[in-house]
Amino acid sequence: MNKYSSKNIIEQLLSDLKQESQIVNAIIRGCIELRWAVGKEEKETAETMIYNAFEEYAVTRGIPQKVAEEFCEQHLEELIQSVLAILSPEL
């Protein structure tokens, strides 16, 4: 089998989907936890969960670690607000 066989492509696609869904699910879980967080510690924990998944996504997309850290710090609030808007469009 060559590296472009249908089996290899399908296996890679499924692997990518699994990885992507894990990151997306972590971001969604973090945003839900953030929405319901009461105390400062709960909010910080939820934001950390979102940040870590966001950074992991950026790095898997080929952004160098240091650049990904800066990018995620800069755009974390925008990501959170966008995800919350998707989860609760009526708000």
Q: What is the pLDDT of residues 17-58, one digit of tens each?
A: 898 999 999 999 999 999 999 999 999 999 999 999 999 999
SS3 state of residue 4: coil
Output the CA angle 29-35-68, nearest 5 degrees. Answer: 55
Residue 2 pLDDT level (bands cut at 50, 70, 90): low
pLDDT of residue 57: 94
- The model carries a pTM of 0.83
Q: Is 14 exposed, middle or buried (0-12, 13-18, 19+ CB in 10 A)?
A: exposed
Question: Domain-by-domain residue ranges, the chain?
Answer: 31-91
